């Protein structure tokens, strides 16, 4: 039986992978928390690879605190670049396929056309820069990798925008939400299914891919849809990014083109609103 090591198992995507694997009865996945699989501990990593001899590694471990990263550059770089390098070296040594998760924050988002994998990267902050550095270190170490850039992740698990909006919408009379940042929400359960599909198919179409749900929206319209579908009555006011300053600058337009993953890997992608309905129904059922 093939074995897959999942690093960062307690994060949002790691929990979604565990959930989808249970639903699909997918065997052979070993879920590792930070304590069990620290991607900065080279000796411990080598022991894990020797013990499990994995066919695939999924790296969900990342420094994702976008604003905090601006003051925590060294740690962000260690996790998002050096940790990836550690995994890529061991994957090359063992003939293991690496599946690395990256982000739309590698782009400046200055245009208004969906972004291709070959488009110029220009991160606006430390988080995006260090994630890009992690992407860039892989091809020089191994050819057997899939790097999946994604955006605006949410799910029933961990903290995310959907859960925050549902909570705040029930607590407050009015919410101010940014409308001049445009992207695509991604249901992390959908992404988890795509990742497991790549493993199950045994695909060797290695390389860099974009994955999010279909369509595009602003944070304001996303929040409005959350309230509408959840039947939460709250006044929402659209505001500009300049009215809600943050430590790190976000890309104003980060809609990614998914043609490559659809054609080369045969992935079917649902519209963001359809996936949002599924997530909200599951959240409501758990209440």
- Read off the pLDDT of residues 230-283 as tens digits, 9 standing for 90 and up: 999 999 999 999 999 999 999 999 999 999 999 999 999 999 999 999 999 999
Q: Mark 41-64 as b/e (b = at least 16 C-beta within 10 Å).
A: eeeebeebbeebebbbbbbbbbbb
Mean pLDDT of 100-111: 97
Question: Domain spans of the chain?
Answer: 4-159+186-213+255-269
pLDDT at 254: 97
pLDDT in tens, 111-152: 999 999 999 999 999 999 999 999 999 999 999 999 999 999
Residue 127 bears catalytic tag: yes
Bridge partners for 153 per DSSP: 186
Q: What angle do CA 19, 167, 226 make, to 5 degrees?
A: 75
Residue ranges with strand state E in the chain: 4-7, 29-32, 56-59, 97-103, 145-150, 153-154, 174-178, 182-183, 186-187, 207-210, 217-218, 235-239
Homologous superfamily of domain range 4-159+186-213+255-269: NAD(P)-binding Rossmann-like Domain (3.40.50.720)
Of the residues 63, 127, 154, 220, which is catalytic? 127
Tokens of 19: 């959930």
In 3D space, the residue among 135, 33, 30, 49 whose CA is nearest the CA of residue 85 turns out to be 135
Mean pLDDT of 100-106: 98
Give this prediction's pTM: 0.97
Tokens of 20: 């989808």
pLDDT in tens, 224-233: 999 999 999 9
- Residue 263: how many CB atoms within 10 A of its CB? 10
Tokens of 211: 């994955």
């Amino acid at each position: 039986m093939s074995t897959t090591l999942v690093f960062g198992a307690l994060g949002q995507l790691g929990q979604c992978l565990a959930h989808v694997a249970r639903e699909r009865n997918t065997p052979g996945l070993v879920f590792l928390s930070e304590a069990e699989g620290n991607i900065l501990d080279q000796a411990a990593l080598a022991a894990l690879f020797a013990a499990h001899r994995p066919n695939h590694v999924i790296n969900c471990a990342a420094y994702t605190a976008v604003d905090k990263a601006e003051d925590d550059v060294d740690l962000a770089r260690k996790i998002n670049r050096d940790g990836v390098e550690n995994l890529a070296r061991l994957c090359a040594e063992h003939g293991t396929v690496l599946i690395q998760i990256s982000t739309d924050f590698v782009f400046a988002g200055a245009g208004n056309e969906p972004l291709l994998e070959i488009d110029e990267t220009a991160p606006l902050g430390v988080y995006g820069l260090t994630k890009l550095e992690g992407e860039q270190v892989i091809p020089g170490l191994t050819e057997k990798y899939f790097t999946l850039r994604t955006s605006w992740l949410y799910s029933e698990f961990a903290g995310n925008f959907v859960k925050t909006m549902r909570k705040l919408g029930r607590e407050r009379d009015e919410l101010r939400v940014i409308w001049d940042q445009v992207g695509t929400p991604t249901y992390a359960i959908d992404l988890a299914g795509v990742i497991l599909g790549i493993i199950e198919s045994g695909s060797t179409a290695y390389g860099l891919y974009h994955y999010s749900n279909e369509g595009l929206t602003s944070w304001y319209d996303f929040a409005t849809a959350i309230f509408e579908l959840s039947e939460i009555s709250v006044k929402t006011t659209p505001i500009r990014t300049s009215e809600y300053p943050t430590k790190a600058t976000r890309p104003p337009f980060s809609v990614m083109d998914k043609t490559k993953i659809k054609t080369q890997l045969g992935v079917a992608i649902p519209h963001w609103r359809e996936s949002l309905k599924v997530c909200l129904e599951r959240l409501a059922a758990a209440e």
